[in-house]
Structure 1
Amino acid sequence: MNSFEIKEIPGKGRAMVATKPFAVGETIFEEEPFVSRQFSWNAAYGYAACDHCMRPLETVLENVRRLANNNALIVPLAEYDPTTPWLEQFTQCQRCKVRYCSEDCRMESLNKYHRVACMGNFHTDDSHPINALNETWKKMHYPPETGTILLIVRLMAMYKQSNNKQQFLESLQSFQSLIVNTEAKIYHKMLGENFEQQMEQLFVAFCRAFADEEFAAFTTPDAFKTLMGMIGTNSQGIATSPLAEWVKKVSDLPLPDGDKAKLDEYIDDIYNKVGEFAGEFLNTEGVGLYLLQSKINHSCVPNAQSTFPYSNDIVVLKAVAAIEAGEEICISYLDECQLERSRHSRQKILKENYIFVCQCPKCQLQVTDPDETSEDEDYDDDDEMDMDDEDANMSD
């Protein structure tokens, strides 16, 4: 019996509600994605990951040396390298050479989408319609990435390979994406007015890649907008990192105080060296669609959190506050820094990116706060706007 249920809450809509109490730190559920994919630029920058589950395909030493651009670096306590257990299992598709962390992942991908998605010797051919589509996407969506057109490409392969296409379409419809509200002039950020020309270019490239009659239901302007809105409003970010997992393991070791201090100093030094070269781009990153996780609403005071403890795309929802039976389970769509911003700033971000106005307890408590931001937040908003303009200019 599930420890939660999906139900309609009057005045709020669909929600996930606990049917039993959860203590802090308790697992609510684990879920494999309906589909997942590494970000396009992340792959282009050389972040090696399993093509199916996004598990890292490099050792912590390889990871650190690449991120710091320094082949002389060493990593102590290598026996705690998180990739060691599956190093001997790495495999690949013999036709297109994409890599997997295990034979299980290779077979799962083959049975789910790769029989159709495999491009054979064309995987490095820039003129191939799929590669051309990806390049069109990359030119209009620079890092930091929030999605990838390759997620839709994988969905198309899943659809064509599916033995029950009606069931597949029903699963897509369950994400219930709201794309455009023409009266309120609300657009998802990937479909905003500033990007109409770019979206038209992307649509044309998409139609070229999926010109078969079998994809006709997806190659209309409205259907394409629905797909784009679906990945924009329902997708969950995924990040895996050999370095982060190694740090977590060695930091928990019962070392003598002197050794502990040396280890902490080494970790700080490694992060500094990595930061100088790679900056904030430390992880293998991508995105996934989750049938259950996508049903969870946002709150600025969340009682649950999505985690990825297995160094792959399996999401584990954990309670971060005590949850009573009958209470709604909520996560935050904002990061920790964004949660600390004013009500006005939080709601601005949520409205632009997820197309709703938050009415959580924190927002209700701050309802009389002025609709303005601090100097720091004004700077962040202006900087973000400048970046959006820059991206738009770079894409023209």
Structure 2
Amino acid sequence: MDIEIRFIDNIKDKGLFAKRDFNAGSVIFEEDPLVCCQFSWNSAYGYKACDHCLRPLETAEENARRLSAKPDLHLPHPQCCNTNKNTIVSCTLCGVNYCSTECQITAYNQYHRTLCFQRKSSLEDHPLYQLNETWKQMHYPPETSSIMMIPRILATIQQSPNTEHAQAQFLQFCHRTVNENTKIAHKLLGGKFAEQIAILNGLLVRAIDPEGVSHFLTQEGFQSLVALIGTNGQGVGTSAVSQWVTRSSELQLSPEETVKLDQFIDKLYEDMDKHSGNFLNNEGVALFSLQSSCNHSCVPNAEPTYLHNNSRLSLVALTDIKAGDEICISYLDECTLQRSRHSRNKELSENYLFRCTCPKCEQQAHDPDVTSDEEEEDDEMEEMSE
């Protein structure tokens, strides 16, 4: 491969490094996740995605109509929609939908055989349903993780022909509940959430057969899994509309037609923003072996993208990268990256158990430890909601 994982030190542990030069805009590598899951509220709000790979199950026109609340909307150039509804299949027992028979078979063989349950009138009594609903009431949007990743991890281990290897695949991820070097504890495991963690742990014990995974169902084992998904989960986003926009913008049109299309797209996004705000994508979370080896930088030289409109990750170079350079991504969203050093490190400490020492943070090391105005507003809103 054109990349390699290297040990760095006892603080950063490992990192991902380039073995050759990469030009800005080039794909460094691609990989499928070990496990992937749609966010619970994203699904509840009607965002239709393959239960295995998160590929959109709506056409671009259906997607645009729902997000803009305009049921009579028609998109030009319908050939630019790449959703194939003819291949969509459903599990006959539990009703979840897949974009293809291939995804259904892959999911069944990896974890769904263990987690699938027959749809009944008493569905609300099923422990997995209760686990999901309880998580939703504890964690409102915007979501950054999902408790439903944990049953899929445990089922993947149980269904594997080599359970030790499967377990090792997941334990390669950071699953510390505390960073011993800095005495930082993951925010989901603090005293504020102790009661929630106990409730979720109890529901998981009811939902999962303990065979082969009983050590993960203990309080300590469950907390390590919560830390694992909290510190390693990579957001996944797919969209039928965005794919249609990309493909239609590549059409060879006359100047007049191009202007007309651009105006239509601008108006479409304006309408979707009015009705749906920033939540336009099918969103979920996944665990990636290679991507998880990328360290954070507030001045990243690469970013994860989803060029195939499913959960397959493409790591794309943001700048020219030389052979031997460390490949770094940002664990923070674009808005948070623009906040103060203190605010960025507060976010990193609570979610990823470290404080950043990238060039930007080092340059700002002598800045006063003040909280960004935006974060103060966020804290006030959080206090009001409690």
> TM-score scaled to structure 1, two decimals?
0.92
CA-CA distance at 1:119 after TM superposition: 1.0
Equivalent residue for 2:67?
Answer: 67
Runs of at least 5 residues in structure 1 that lack an aligned partner in the other structure? none
Q: Encode CA deviations 1:70-98: one digit per residue, 9 max, x unaligned.
A: 21111111111121xx3221112122221
- Once residues 356 and 303 of structure 1 are traced to their aligned partners in structure 2, the CA distance between those partners, rounded to angstroms, is 20
The letter for the 1-side match of 2:278 is E
Is the 2:182–2:354 contact (alpha carbons within 8 Å) kept by the matching residues of 1?
Answer: no
- Once residues 300 and 182 of structure 2 are traced to their aligned partners in structure 1, the CA distance between those partners, rounded to angstroms, is 28
Residues 186/388 of structure 1: CA separation in 2 closer, same or farther (3 Å cut): farther
Do structure 1's residue 155 and structure 2's residue 148 form an aligned pair? Answer: no
Deviates more, 1:189-198 or 1:322-331: 189-198
For the residue of structure 1 that corresponds to 2:7, the secondary structure is: strand
Equivalent residue for 1:386?
Answer: 380
Equivalent residue for 2:228?
Answer: 230
Residues 366/264 of structure 1: CA separation in 2 closer, same or farther (3 Å cut): same
- Once residues 183 and 366 of structure 2 are traced to their aligned partners in structure 1, the CA distance between those partners, rounded to angstroms, is 26
2:292 to 294, 319, 330: 294
Residues 184/123 of structure 1: CA separation in 2 closer, same or farther (3 Å cut): farther
- Once residues 361 and 182 of structure 2 are traced to their aligned partners in structure 1, the CA distance between those partners, rounded to angstroms, is 21
Alignment RMSD: 1.8
The letter for the 2-side match of 1:174 is Q
2:164 to 158, 166, 188: 166
CA-CA distance at 1:257 after TM superposition: 2.6
Aligned length: 385
The letter for the 1-side match of 2:192 is N
CA-CA distance at 1:102 after TM superposition: 1.0
Equivalent residue for 1:48?
Answer: 48
The letter for the 1-side match of 2:377 is D
Deviates more, 1:346-355 or 1:293-302: 346-355
- Once residues 82 and 276 of structure 2 are traced to their aligned partners in structure 1, the CA distance between those partners, rounded to angstroms, is 21
Equivalent residue for 2:217?
Answer: 219
Equivalent residue for 2:35?
Answer: 35
Equivalent residue for 1:346?
Answer: 344
CA-CA distance at 1:228 after TM superposition: 0.4
Is the 1:123–1:131 contact (alpha carbons within 8 Å) kept by the matching residues of 2?
Answer: no
Do structure 1's residue 3 and structure 2's residue 2 form an aligned pair? Answer: yes
Is the 2:184–2:354 contact (alpha carbons within 8 Å) kept by the matching residues of 1?
Answer: no
Equivalent residue for 1:371?
Answer: 369
Is the 2:342–2:370 contact (alpha carbons within 8 Å) kept by the matching residues of 1?
Answer: yes
CA-CA distance at 1:167 after TM superposition: 0.5
Do structure 1's residue 274 and structure 2's residue 272 form an aligned pair? Answer: yes
For the residue of structure 1 that corresponds to 2:324, the secondary structure is: coil
CA-CA distance at 1:181 after TM superposition: 4.4
Q: Encode CA deviations 1:368-393: one digit per residue, 9 max, x unaligned.
A: 222224xxx32x212322343355x3
Residues 360/123 of structure 1: CA separation in 2 closer, same or farther (3 Å cut): farther
CA-CA distance at 1:28 after TM superposition: 1.2
The letter for the 1-side match of 2:348 is L
For the residue of structure 2 that corresponds to 1:158, the secondary structure is: helix
- Once residues 253 and 292 of structure 1 are traced to their aligned partners in structure 2, the CA distance between those partners, rounded to angstroms, is 35
For the residue of structure 1 that corresponds to 2:283, the secondary structure is: strand
- Once residues 304 and 356 of structure 1 are traced to their aligned partners in structure 2, the CA distance between those partners, rounded to angstroms, is 20
Is the 1:122–1:128 contact (alpha carbons within 8 Å) kept by the matching residues of 2?
Answer: no
The letter for the 2-side match of 1:153 is P
Q: Encode CA deviations 1:330-350: one digit per residue, 9 max, x unaligned.
A: 111112222222222222211
Is the 1:61–1:74 contact (alpha carbons within 8 Å) kept by the matching residues of 2?
Answer: yes
CA-CA distance at 1:12 after TM superposition: 3.5
Q: Encode CA deviations 1:216-263: one digit per residue, 9 max, x unaligned.
A: 211111100000010000010000011111111222333223222222
Equivalent residue for 1:106?
Answer: 104
For the residue of structure 1 that corresponds to 2:216, the secondary structure is: coil
Q: Encode CA deviations 1:309-348: one digit per residue, 9 max, x unaligned.
A: 0010000111111111111111111122222222222222
- Once residues 12 and 150 of structure 1 are traced to their aligned partners in structure 2, the CA distance between those partners, rounded to angstroms, is 28
The letter for the 2-side match of 1:23 is N
Q: Encode CA deviations 1:256-298: one digit per residue, 9 max, x unaligned.
A: 2322222222112212222222122111000000011101100
For the residue of structure 2 that corresponds to 1:313, the secondary structure is: coil
Do structure 1's residue 20 and structure 2's residue 14 form an aligned pair? Answer: no
- Once residues 143 and 121 of structure 2 are traced to their aligned partners in structure 1, the CA distance between those partners, rounded to angstroms, is 22
1:236-255 equivalences under 5 Å are 236-255=234-253
Is the 1:96–1:123 contact (alpha carbons within 8 Å) kept by the matching residues of 2?
Answer: no
Residues 124/247 of structure 1: CA separation in 2 closer, same or farther (3 Å cut): farther
Residues 348/212 of structure 1: CA separation in 2 closer, same or farther (3 Å cut): closer
Is the 2:210–2:217 contact (alpha carbons within 8 Å) kept by the matching residues of 1?
Answer: no
For the residue of structure 2 that corresponds to 1:121, the secondary structure is: coil
CA-CA distance at 1:24 after TM superposition: 1.2
- Once residues 386 and 194 of structure 1 are traced to their aligned partners in structure 2, the CA distance between those partners, rounded to angstroms, is 17
For the residue of structure 1 that corresponds to 2:326, the secondary structure is: coil
Equivalent residue for 2:257?
Answer: 259
Equivalent residue for 1:201?
Answer: 199
For the residue of structure 1 that corresponds to 2:161, the secondary structure is: coil
For the residue of structure 2 that corresponds to 1:330, the secondary structure is: strand
Equivalent residue for 1:91?
Answer: 89
2:132 to 134, 155, 162: 134
The letter for the 2-side match of 1:4 is I
Equivalent residue for 2:319?
Answer: 321
Equivalent residue for 1:79?
Answer: 79
